[in-house]
């Protein structure tokens, strides 16, 4: 069905380009990446505009500029519910900007010339000038014609480039870059590496605080690790107490927030303007592609392609996305927020599922990884060992912790995670069906269960630490699993003792096993 009733005009879509793919309702739509100016979180509400235009939600303000926002679902007659995870994609064409409310960014698609299926309609102009099939999954993506979007009748357009924006030179290949400032240092990041920008964030302390992680922020009901890019790139440290904005980086495991002092602008920079890094300019030159000077914005270090996407520390932190509120009784969420962690003063623990919720000291877990898709075949014959794989130049033995402790159901690969534990010179990867949270203990009693009876008489995990987490309605009692002790029992078995009997009392089965 056509949205417009105006004479058709030739489409201006270039098929030999990179597209940013957006999710709008049940459909995937795409725009040439040069037309996607920025992606920001959707506001709780839009400011009203005194116009009556189909699909117009209202306006947002961005760095002092007012931008109208459309919801294409309303134009297409589709259901248009609001959701906290929605974002606004800013579309730029012919010196005009308009916002589109979308359900999310679905990555990039590089399309060779000739692969775009162009579409036209007799007597009408289509908003979508073509479509293509994504090679990754075979899904169909419709390509939005930015020029047709700007010609929608009655839509208010922001005219003129953003303050300080550099005009691209049309005769040269250009890079679309986001310029940010971190303290006194300017960084340039490819726009395709950024999921969304958060113009204002509140940083909260967390159990995972460290050299590069400075706490968590809350976004769309989820607590996300907040990373100092200067520490990550070995450029120094973020100034303490400085107001923060954030860039959200997404990989297949989750989101990470990159803390910046200011998001300056999005610019198009010709390849010829990229300058080679001079000697001794930075400590880790392999992390950077070039140096560039942008008129009106000064000097910026351009990150190398894939540096953020492939950084092992960011990949590990992306696993630690935790819900900020409890969704249901079965899936534990963050009952101990930053204020609880700061006041509790107890040990930091990571909680997870092995048929029920248990905890382990965070200091015992060196990394959290997704379940490997390719593993070597184990030859030990141990019933809980599922395979072998290599990580950071080390061989890792995969052990199903739920099976080891008596569980019977194999974990779902979509939700399972691997807790890396190093002990006695070896590395074990303990598979757990699901991660829940990182919290601080508010009470613990090693060696005995509550009520005075020995832990071993009350629970098969004893003599183990019994701990309490959370406050108020979220307060709960868990057993703390000593993964170092479990790893020692596996790496130094007694030849005359059955495998399960070799486990320390803290790791005896929860369910009787014949």
Mean pLDDT of 147-171: 66
Q: pLDDT grade, residue 266 (50/70/90)?
A: low
Three-class HEC string of 54-99: CCEEEEEEECCEEEEEECHHHHCCCCCCCCCCCEEEEEEECCEEEE
Classify 17-159 by CATH class: mainly beta
Q: Judge whether 384 and 399 are in contact, CB under 8 Å.
A: yes
pTM above the 0.75 mark? no
- The pLDDT score that the predictor gives to residue 292 is 93
Q: Is the pLDDT of residue 164 over 50?
A: no
CA gap 311, 83 in Å, rounded: 30
Q: Of 50-59, 175-184, 234-243, 327-336, where does mean pLDDT reach its minimum?
A: 327-336
Mean pLDDT of 227-241: 92
Q: Of 183-197, 305-319, 410-424, 498-512, where does mean pLDDT reach its minimum?
A: 498-512
> 128-150, pLDDT tens digit by residue?
888 988 765 678 889 998 888 88
DSSP one-letter code for 313: H
Higher pLDDT among residues 256 and 505, named by residue: 256
Q: Is the pLDDT of residue 40 over 60?
A: yes
CA gap 330, 160 in Å, rounded: 52
Provide the CA 117 distance to its chain's centre, in angstroms.
Answer: 32
Q: Is the pLDDT of residue 428 over 90?
A: yes
Residues of the chain with CATH 2.40.50.180: 17-159, 174-319, 348-447+460-489
CA gap 10, 5 in Å, rounded: 15
The residues with which 342 forms a beta bridge, in sequence order, are: none
Which CATH number among 1.20.1440.230, 2.40.50.180, 2.40.110.10, 3.90.550.10 corresponds to the domain 174-319? 2.40.50.180
Provide the CA 140 distance to its chain's centre, in angstroms.
Answer: 25
Q: Is the pLDDT of residue 346 over 60?
A: yes
- The pLDDT score that the predictor gives to residue 103 is 85
Pick from 365, 364, 416, 421: which is nearest to 394 by CA? 421
Classify 348-447+460-489 by CATH class: mainly beta
- The pLDDT score that the predictor gives to residue 495 is 53
Provide the CA 148 distance to its chain's centre, in angstroms.
Answer: 33
Collect all residues with Cβ–Cβ distance below 8 Å to 301 and sequence separation of at least 6: 185, 186, 187, 188, 235, 277, 282, 288, 291
280 burial class (0-12, 13-18, 19+ CB within 10 angstroms)?
Answer: exposed
Q: pLDDT grade, residue 446 (50/70/90)?
A: low
Collect all residues with Cβ–Cβ distance below 8 Å to 332 and sequence separation of at least 6: 326, 351, 357, 436, 437, 476
The residues with which 204 forms a beta bridge, in sequence order, are: 216
Higher pLDDT among residues 396 and 491, named by residue: 396
Q: Is the pLDDT of residue 342 over 70?
A: no
CB neighbourhood size of 329 (10 A): 6
Q: Judge whether 504 and 465 are in contact, CB under 8 Å.
A: no
Q: Is the pLDDT of residue 493 over 80?
A: no
Provide the CA 403 distance to its chain's centre, in angstroms.
Answer: 30
Q: Is the pLDDT of residue 479 over 90?
A: no
Mean pLDDT of 378-401: 84
- The pLDDT score that the predictor gives to residue 324 is 59
Q: Is the pLDDT of residue 502 over 70?
A: no
* % of the chain beyond a pLDDT of 70: 76
Residue 338, classed as helix, strand or coil, is: helix
- The pLDDT score that the predictor gives to residue 318 is 84
Q: Judge whether 291 and 302 are in contact, CB under 8 Å.
A: yes
- Dihedral through CA 272, CA 274, CA 275, CA 279, nearest 10? -140
Q: pLDDT grade, residue 335 (50/70/90)?
A: very low
> 41-90, pLDDT tens digit by residue?
788 889 999 988 888 999 998 878 899 999 988 887 888 888 877 888 88
Q: Judge whether 439 and 447 are in contact, CB under 8 Å.
A: no
Pick from 415, 136, 141: which is nearest to 254 by CA? 415
HSE-CB of 474 using CA atoms within 13 angstroms? 21
Specify the DSSP element, H or E, that contains 210: none
CA gap 280, 463 in Å, rounded: 56
Q: pLDDT grade, residue 458 (50/70/90)?
A: very low
CA gap 236, 489 in Å, rounded: 42
Q: pLDDT grade, residue 234 (50/70/90)?
A: very high
CA gap 83, 101 in Å, rounded: 10
CA gap 399, 366 in Å, rounded: 16
Q: Is the pLDDT of residue 9 over 70?
A: no
Collect all residues with Cβ–Cβ distance below 8 Å to 274 and sequence separation of at least 6: 175, 289, 290, 291, 292, 302
- The pLDDT score that the predictor gives to residue 8 is 33
**CA end-to-end span of the chain:** 65
The stretches of 345-501 forming alpha helices (DSSP H) are 401-404, 455-458, 483-491
Tokens of 331: 């899936």
- The pLDDT score that the predictor gives to residue 231 is 94
What phi and psi, each to the nearest 5 degrees, are found at residue 492?
Answer: -130, 65
Residue 5, classed as helix, strand or coil, is: coil
> 173-204, pLDDT tens digit by residue?
567 788 899 999 999 998 778 877 777 788 98
């Amino acid at each position: 069905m056509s949205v417009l009733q105006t004479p058709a005009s030739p489409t201006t879509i270039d098929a030999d380009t990179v597209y940013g793919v957006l999710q709008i309702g049940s459909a995937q739509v795409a725009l040439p990446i040069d037309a996607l100016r920025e992606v920001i979180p959707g506001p709780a509400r839009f400011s009203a505009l005194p116009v009556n235009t189909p699909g117009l939600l209202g306006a947002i303000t961005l760095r002092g500029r007012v931008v109208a926002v459309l919801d294409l679902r309303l134009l297409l007659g589709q259901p248009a519910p609001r959701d906290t995870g929605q974002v606004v994609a800013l579309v730029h064409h012919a010196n005009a900007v308009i916002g589109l409310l979308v359900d999310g960014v679905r990555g990039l698609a590089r399309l060779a010339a000739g692969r775009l299926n162009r579409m036209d309609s007799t007597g009408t102009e289509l908003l979508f000038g073509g479509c293509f099939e994504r090679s990754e999954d075979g899904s169909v993506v419709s390509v939005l014609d930015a020029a047709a979007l700007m010609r929608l009748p009655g839509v208010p357009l922001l005219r003129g480039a953003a303050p300080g924006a550099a005009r691209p030179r049309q005769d040269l290949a250009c890079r679309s870059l986001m310029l940010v400032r971190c303290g006194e240092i300017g960084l340039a990041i490819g726009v395709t590496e950024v999921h969304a920008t958060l113009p204002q964030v509140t940083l909260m302390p967390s159990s995972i605080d460290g050299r590069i992680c400075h706490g968590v922020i809350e976004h769309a009901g989820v607590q996300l690790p907040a990373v100092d890019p200067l520490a990550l790139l070995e450029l120094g440290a973020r100034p303490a107490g400085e107001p923060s904005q954030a860039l959200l980086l997404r990989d297949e495991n989750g989101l990470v927030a990159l803390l910046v002092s200011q998001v300056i602008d999005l610019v198009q920079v010709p390849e010829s303007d990229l300058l080679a890094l001079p000697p001794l300019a930075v400590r880790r030159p392999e992390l950077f592609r070039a140096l560039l000077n942008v008129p009106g914005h000064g000097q910026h270090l351009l990150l190398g392609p894939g540096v953020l996407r492939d950084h092992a520390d960011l990949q590990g932190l992306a696993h630690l996305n935790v819900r900020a509120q409890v969704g249901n009784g079965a899936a534990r969420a963050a009952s101990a927020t930053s204020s609880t962690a700061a006041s509790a003063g107890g040990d930091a623990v990571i909680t997870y599922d092995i048929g029920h919720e248990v905890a382990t000291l965070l200091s015992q877990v060196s990394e959290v990884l997704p379940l490997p898709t390719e593993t070597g075949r184990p030859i030990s014959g141990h019933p809980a060992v599922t395979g072998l794989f290599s990580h950071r130049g080390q061989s890792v033995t995969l052990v199903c912790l739920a099976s080891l402790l008596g569980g019977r159901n194999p974990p779902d690969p979509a939700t399972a995670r691997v807790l890396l534990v190093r002990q006695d010179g070896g590395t074990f990867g303990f598979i757990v069906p699901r991660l829940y949270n990182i919290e601080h203990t508010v009470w613990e009693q090693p060696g005995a269960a509550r009520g005075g009876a020995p832990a071993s008489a009350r629970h098969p995990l004893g003599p183990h630490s019994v701990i309490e987490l959370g406050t108020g309605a979220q307060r709960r009692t868990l057993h703390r699993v000593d993964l170092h002790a479990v790893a020692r029992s596996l790496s130094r078995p007694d030849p005359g003792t059955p495998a399960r009997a070799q486990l320390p009392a803290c790791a005896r089965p929860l369910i009787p096993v014949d």
